Amino acid sequence: MSEFLDTHRATAEDLLDEALPFLLTGKLRYDGLLRFCESYRIKGIVHVLLDGRPDRLHVNLHNSGRSFRHGLFSLPSAQIVVSRALPLFDATASNDVACASAIARALPTGWKRDVEYEDDYLYFSLFGKWVLSAPPAEREDLLERLAALADEADPRLAAMRALSKGDADSFDTAVDAVSTMYQQRLRQFAGGGKISDEAADTLPFFCAEGLALIRLAEREGLSLRPEHMLVPSMVRPDFSSSYGENDWRLPRAP
């Protein structure tokens, strides 16, 4: 564990403080909005790693989702890259169903071929359909399109197939593989200097995407293992009753 976690939390709060006026006035571009939300994610992870406070992790994931939802409505569709909409996972992981649903509805439906891979776009779109409890036919259509493009070894495809079939054992295996892939990618980015020190020391130790997938599976009634890669049982409870409507406007709240 990094000795600089407290410093990283303070740095995240500084960035949030500086960027909040731009978010509130609709002047934050998509990249800036994603960095803003990532700062809440970093702050929440430090609360777990340093303080053992999963409740504060969830408040900050909630804040990330709510900030993203607010910022989306000020952005032109041309700026929004669906496959980079990681705060959709934050909102879902924190059990902020209303926010996750609003984000899923607000994301554009067109694939931006110049800035994202089509299978990444389809995966996020399919995830959004599950968030919205879309009709099975809509989900199956997207799943078939994803299967036609994705590598058969892609754990995201495996997770979505298992979710569609209601196969808890296969889902358990797939969601662990999703978290492993996520951690490996972040460590590669860290090794190449492509992410900040704050991100490198925090993000690889918790996978909001993994917890978000678990939330969808729980909604479908799947009986899952209590422990998963980067999603320990201590972060699995529902803390949504503790959220405040305007928490996301208070970057320095505990």
Confidence grade of residue 1 (pLDDT, cut at 50, 70, 90): confident
What confidence tens digit (pLDDT) does each residue in 196-245 have? Answer: 999 999 999 999 999 999 999 999 999 999 999 999 999 999 999 999 98
The whole-number average pLDDT for the span 144-151 is 96
Per-domain boundaries in the chain: 5-233
What confidence tens digit (pLDDT) does each residue in 99-125 have? Answer: 999 999 999 999 999 999 999 999 999
Cα(90)–Cα(40) distance, rounded to whole angstroms? 10
CA atoms within 13 A on the CB side of 162: 27
What confidence tens digit (pLDDT) does each residue in 14-66 have? Answer: 999 999 999 999 999 999 999 999 999 999 999 999 999 999 999 999 999 99
pLDDT of amino acid 136 = 96
pLDDT of amino acid 2 = 82
Which distant-in-sequence residues (6+ apart) come within 8 Å of 121 by Cβ?
82, 83, 111, 112
The whole-number average pLDDT for the span 172-191 is 97
pLDDT at 132 over 80: yes
Cα(248)–Cα(49) distance, rounded to whole angstroms? 21
